Amino acid sequence: MNAVAFVHEQLTPKKEFPKFKAGDNVTVNYKIIEGNKERIQSFKGDVIKRQGTGFTASFTVRKISDGVGVERLFPIYSPNIESILVHKVGKVRRAKLFYQRERSGKSARIREKRKV
């Protein structure tokens, strides 16, 4: 089994993404394929959770669009992810921010961690 994992690791290209965690504000540029056309769609929001390890790792991003909360789950090592940009580093005290689903307005804000 170790040889299979080694070959799989050698054959799959691993993209380097910035370090991010729950509470960070990110933009995920995702490749959308419609028929024979490709385009890049960006999804900007707060990371609600990261889960899994290795190639099964994924993260969920939540944004408010026209007053409605929208969440999207992205596999980290998906070949369709073009890039991940970190805008703000959030100051949170837990790893899964499910409480954000019930919040709206000012109480839904995540404080930004100051860089000294």
Domain ranges of the chain: 24-87+95-107
- Spatial contact of 15 and 77, defined as CB atoms under 8 Å apart: yes
Tell the CATH topology of 24-87+95-107.
SH3 type barrels. (2.30.30)
Share of the chain above pLDDT 70, in %: 97
Of residues 52 and 4, more confidently modeled: 52
pTM score of the predicted model: 0.82
Interval 34-43: pLDDT, tens: 999 999 999 9
Model pLDDT for residues 6-53, shown as the tens digit of each residue = 877 777 667 788 999 999 999 999 999 999 999 999 999 999 999 999
Burial class (CB in 10 A: 0-12, 13-18, 19+), 114: exposed
Given pLDDT bands bounded at 50, 70 and 90, which one contains residue 55? Answer: confident
| Cα dihedral sign, 60-67-26-9 | positive
